[in-house]
Amino acid sequence: MQLIKRVIQLAKDRALIKFSALASTMVVDAEAAMLEEMSNVSAGGDQRGVRAALQILRLEQTGLVASTDARFRESVERGMRTMYTDLRQGLGQLSANALSLIDDETVNRQLEVGHLVQRLRDACDENLGRLNIMIAQLHGDADVHERENPFRPYLIARALYESLKERVQDEEICKLLFARLSDSLAAHLSDYYAAICAVFDANGIQARLLARPTKLKRHQRDQLAQQLAAMNSPSGMGNTFAGAATLPVADFNPRVLPALQRMFESMGGGERGINQTDAGAMTSQQAQLAQSEEFQKFVWGLFNQASAEMAPDVAADVTGHAAGQPWRAPVSTEVLETIERYQRQAADAEIGTESAAGERNQLFSLGEKLTLPQQAQGQQMAINVVAVLFEFILDDEQIPAVVRARIARLQIPFLKAAMLEPQLLQQADHPARQLLNRIASAAVGLAPESAMAQRLDSKIAHLVKRILQDFADNTAIFSECLEELEQFLADQLANADADSVRSIQAAEDAEKFSAVLRNTAASLRDIVAPMEVDQRLKDFIEQIWARVLVRAAAQDAGGGSAAIGQQYREVLPELVWSAQEKTTPEDRNALMRLLPGLVKRLRIGMLMVHMPEAECNAALDRLVPVHTQVLRQGLADDSPRKWPSLDDLRKEFTRLVTSDDSATWILTEPLQVEQDVLESALADRGVAADVELSRPSIYAAKPSAELLSQLRVGCCVECQAGDTSVPARLIWVSRHHALFIFKLEQQSKPLVYSAASLLQALQSGRIGLVEYAPAFDRAVDALMQGAEALQARPAGG
């Protein structure tokens, strides 16, 4: 089916349209930056260079934008033809006659373009990384290569560089323009790639971090490779790209294809498509292909909501089949009564009874026993879909056998939920789906004989029994059970051992301190911003004294008093007053008396937050010129300016908020916990941990929630250690999703990551997910392969 080609074409159109706008914005921003630079430049030579560059930019901006846009379009077209198609010659195919020397200009070009590429990559690493992953997945490739991305930063950098070289002869001016235009690109590129990602997201294609194939059994590696080929794609990619394979019909579970065949025939296409005679074979083959593609689109539409950014024909198919078919019709009383009877039987039966009777998946037999009228065929379709999904889930060897047996008992309640709320299949966050996924993922990687596995199995058994006994027609029970499971996992993993407990307490302390620090600094900034005081003093207050205030407030909270915090709050009005112009002899004398004690309190406060002696001295040294200037100023002869008094300043600083209640703060940006804050908290709790707290790029958008959301407490990952991979489990995620703690199975020392560093580790492969997607999503991928397999099924088979 051509769906993926149409989606990629849609992404290409979006990329080219957005790049045209980006190129224009790039020139406008560069012009504004140089105008501002000219107003601040004092050296005549630099000003002349900026003025000359600005003049050339204004003269050439139309041609520059058009040239850059045309070069990028040409590169994108070439990239679309060559992505994941290796046309490079191997060393064995090269001859001496094909080699040539590289001149200096080529080397310089590669260096300058290379520097810009790295800068652009840093500026949009998250959205660019998501796009690279999605393009790799579309081609069924487990290895992600940015060079296969037809919209990659290198093509943008090279288009800009070559366009400038063509139009600007002066090398220095060319470099200056290249730098200013690069600044604008870096500032806007993250949004550019986010817009391209949105096209894939809207069409149900989302970046998934992949499992490590090296740790899977051989047949699981084969299955993963085939699932990668079909990932997020109705067509399974089998007919779209040469590198993707189609799973042979014979390799499918024999219970699945008959159900798919019934679904296909219920659309009215079975006899016309598959049961054709050999007469007119070519016409029959074409008709079968068309009907199969329609069926694949229909099945895909069951799991994807229509969006404004979908390919038009795909969106029409989704909305048409979802709304126009009886799939969403109210469930009949007969069906509900039959499902209810099966649920009561499952509630009364002990685990293992169904499997002992050879009826692991009851939904197939339930669908066969129901005799529904023609107008209720949509409900029959729902039963077949859920039956096939559960067949794949119950055949998923990544899930331990005992847990699959528990999940098997949820098939009837899940079917009832799907009949009552048909949107369940399209809502990834539906509690019923979430519960099924969490049960499966929490058990992955656990040794069945381990104490944690035994406790988890008991909890799952309890939840399954509750749903079987209490679920009537209110799906809220799935939310309640999901919440209970999440709380169980959080409690069990957080309290597994003393190191886990202390490391989590330390991380909570560090995040709480960081949240209050950031908002305290913002509160201080609001107070001192309108004050006419030296910028060095404002920087000291916001960057250093804010830490002192937060530390003092934390100590007061622990001790049950407010003495320390109040003492250091009183420093603020005195510090600001000390930097104001003194207009009377009395004020000058008061300042002379104040300074020694003020400096002493500043030093004590900085030492309280464990600031090194050298840094304390450097901070105080930066304030010395401020006070020296105040003392050297003569008294005003004319009517002196009315400066705020010390009492006025004290009143201003009563607006300062240093509450340690993090629930009162609304974080509008990702929270960054500083390395020294976390290490200090770990030391205070007496626990050692490996810490990775990389700072996000200054240009980057918020951490990719789509990728990090795959990591839930209890999920199993693999950490790269040299040439091997070591299993680990996520045991805690902080309140503001700023910190993540993992525990290795063979090591008690926790691993602490910030959101930015964890995202980098996931994208680089240093941390890999054991599950490439949740259990339900894996089943949907396999179902899509099954829909494609009908196309390859022999006529009349």
Q: Against a cut of 0.75, is the pTM above it?
A: no
Same domain, 177 and 256: no
Q: Pick the range with the lowest mean pLDDT from 373-377, 422-426, 740-744, 785-789.
A: 373-377
Same domain, 271 and 397: no
Q: Which of 133-137, 433-437, 694-698 ranks highest by mean pLDDT? A: 433-437
Which amino acid would we find at residue 352?
Answer: G
Q: Pick the range with the lowest mean pLDDT from 14-28, 145-159, 366-380, 459-473.
A: 366-380
Same domain, 275 and 364: no
- pLDDT the model gives residue 309: 46
pLDDT over 60 (residue 324):
no
Determine, yes or no, domain membership for 17.
yes
Q: Could you tell me the pLDDT band of residue 217, with boundaries at 50, 70 and 90?
A: very low
For the domain that residue 737 is a member of, what is the CATH number?
Answer: 2.30.30
Higher pLDDT, 310 or 185: 185
- pLDDT the model gives residue 224: 44
Closest CA to 502 of 691, 750, 693, 331: 750
d(CA 379, CA 416): 11
User: Is 734 in contact with 721 (CB distance < 8 Å)?
Assistant: no
Sheet with strand 767-769: strands edge to edge: 690-692, 751-754, 739-744, 724-733, 716-721, 767-769
Higher pLDDT, 453 or 82: 453
Closest CA to 432 of 476, 367, 487: 476
In degrees, rounded to 5, the angle at the alpha carbon of residue 337 between the alpha carbons of residues 332 and 339 is: 100
pLDDT over 50 (residue 708):
yes
Number of domains in the chain: 5
Same domain, 228 and 168: no
Identify the domain containing residue 231 by its residue range: 214-326+784-792
CB-side neighbour CA atoms (13 Å) of 603: 12
pLDDT (average), residues 416-431:
89
Q: Could you tell me the pLDDT band of residue 495, with boundaries at 50, 70 and 90?
A: very high
Higher pLDDT, 75 or 786: 75
Same domain, 156 and 20: yes
Same domain, 367 and 444: yes
Kindly state the tokens that stand for 199: 């096209």
Element (H, E) at 27: helix 3-40
Same domain, 72 and 126: yes
SS3 262: helix
Mean pLDDT estimate for the chain: 77
pLDDT (average), residues 454-478:
95
Determine, yes or no, domain membership for 511.
yes
Beta carbons within 8 Å of 665's beta carbon, 6+ residues apart: 515, 516, 519
- pLDDT the model gives residue 139: 67
SS3 181: helix
Same domain, 439 and 422: yes
Same domain, 436 and 512: no
With the C-alpha atoms ordered 99, 103, 104, 110, is the resulting torsion angle positive or negative?
A: negative
Domain final residue pick, 498, 528, 552: 498
Determine, yes or no, domain membership for 434.
yes
Determine, yes or no, domain membership for 35.
yes
Which amino acid would we find at residue 526?
Answer: D
Q: Pick the range with the lowest mean pLDDT from 57-61, 282-286, 421-425.
A: 282-286
Which amino acid would we find at residue 686?
Answer: G
- Calculate what percentage of the chain has a pLDDT beyond 90: 29
- pLDDT the model gives residue 84: 53
d(CA 110, CA 128): 21
Q: Could you tell me the pLDDT band of residue 193, with boundaries at 50, 70 and 90?
A: confident
Kindly state the tokens that stand for 694: 């990389």
Domain final residue pick, 621, 639, 663: 663
Same domain, 187 and 241: no
Phi and psi of 752, rounded to 5°? -115, 125
Kindly state the tokens that stand for 275: 């049961």
Domain final residue pick, 142, 176, 202: 202
- pLDDT the model gives residue 565: 84
d(CA 438, CA 451): 19
- pLDDT tens per residue, range 229-278: 444 343 333 333 333 344 444 455 666 777 777 777 666 544 433 444 44
Determine, yes or no, domain membership for 91.
no
Determine, yes or no, domain membership for 21.
yes
Same domain, 563 and 641: yes
Q: What is the dihedral of CA 260, 262, 263, 267, to 10 degrees?
A: 140
Determine, yes or no, domain membership for 263.
yes
Same domain, 642 and 520: yes
CB-count burial class (<10 Å; 0-12, 13-18, 19+) for 136? buried
Helices (H), 394-430: 401-408, 411-420
Determine, yes or no, domain membership for 669.
no
> Residue for token digits 């997607």?
773
pLDDT (average), residues 694-698:
63
